[in-house]
Each structure stands twice: as structure tokens, then as C-alpha cells.
A and B are shown apart, each in its own frame.
Chain A
Amino acid sequence: AQKVTQAQTEISVVEKEDVTLDCVYETRDTTYYLFWYKQPPSGELVFLIRRNSFDEQNEISGRYSWNFQKSTSSFNFTITASQVVDSAVYFCALRVGSAGGTSYGKLTFGQGTILTVHP
């Protein structure tokens, strides 16, 4: 079975601070995919990034960056110079790539981290 843990329930920062959201995952599969989604107050989940288990290269996209480390089963997300518009719930999710298993095609979500950025 797969599991995703986001230990930080809520984070509160002041605008322009950097903030890191933690994500730890568990799976026995060697092929898997990790995702981050943002859920603004409107409720719709917005896809941010996908990472494959065989690609540990970190990624930066504007103010966002992701640190994937298989050795610690972590996929952390950092927002640099946070803005009020970054306030949302952020979800980390895991999907295994094994064909034929019951978990094929299923996303396992963490419980989410509520980020509040104050002006």
C-alpha cells in the first residue's frame, strides 16, 4: 500500500518569506510518480508538477522549486519570496506505475498543508 505524509498541517508566513512544504512518501514499487497540487479557496485542484521515480533532478519554475530525494523518500516544495496569492492548501500525491495492480491509475494524496501568506 502507498502512503503520503504531509506533517505540516498549517504554515503561516509573512509576504516575501521563503517557505518549504514537506512531503514524505511510502511505496514498495520501484516505478512511481509524485505530484504537487494547489487548492485555492475556490476548491479546484491545480496541477503544479510531476516527478518520476527514475529522475531525481530537482526543478525550479519561477518562484517554485522542488527537491526530490529517493534516499529519504521525500519530495519537498519550496516557494521563494511568498506572495498573498500563494495562500492555499497544497497537496502532495503519489501514483505507482505498476501495470495490472489494483493501485494502477490511482493517486494517493497526503492530508494537505494549509499555507497562509500574510501581507
Chain B
Amino acid sequence: DGGITQSPKYLFRKEGQNVTLSCEQNLNHDAMYWYRQDPGQGLRLIYYSQIVNDFQKGDIAEGYSVSREKKESFPLTVTSAQKNPTAFYLCASSIGSLRGREQFFGPGTRLTVL
């Protein structure tokens, strides 16, 4: 089945550690996105990528890093510089970042800092 997978579903991290969240899609979509969701809030864009080897910062990129070496993969690293990383992280993809194309979302990763 075509879709977006994220792993792990739950992730626990100690303060000061870097962690990497996985996002893979087999929809042959060009664009991929990372969002953060905090309780009672909407989603906020962290990074997005329109094509391989290219990505742009979103609204809250500080403390995060990404790479886009393959079309189907867009991993997100939460670094120790991120002051409040506990949140629900959602990955999405779309056919292109062109006008109007809806984004499809993965199941999310819930990150908790201990």
C-alpha cells in the first residue's frame, strides 16, 4: 500500500541528546514536510523540501536539522539545542509544492524528553 510511514511511534530522549525521527513515503511525491504539534495548538512547520538535496526552513526551524538525500526519505534530527522538544511530530508529503496540492500525513511520532 502507498503511504507515509514514521518511526518510531513513541520516542523518549534524555536532555542533551540528539534524536532522529524517520519519515519514508512511497507515493513518489516530490515535496515533504515536517510539522510540530503541541497540545491545544495547530501544526507548525519546521522544515520542508521540494526536491532532493534541497530544503527550506519553516517557522520554527531552530534546534532542528533535516536532510533529503533520497526522494522517499526526509529524516528530522531534534538536536540538544531545541529547548522544548517534547511534542507530536508529523511528516507529510505532496505531489509538489505547487498550488493547491493537498498534503498527506504520516501517523506521527510522539517525542518525550525525560
Contacts and interface: CB of A to CB of B under 8 A. Distances in A.
Interface residues of A, number: 27
B79 interface: no
Nearest to A107: B103
Contacts of B31: 105
Contacts of B50: 105
Contacts of A104: 97
Contact of A106 (B58, B88, B99, B110): B58
Interface in A69-114: 91, 93, 95, 97, 102, 104-107, 109-112
A91 B99 CA distance: 19
Given A91-B43, A106-B48, A107-B43, A33 B105 contact: no
A47 B42 contact: no
A19 B103 CA distance: 26
A105 B32 CA distance: 10
Interface of B: 31, 33, 40-45, 48, 50, 56, 58-59, 88, 90, 92, 97, 99-100, 102-108, 110
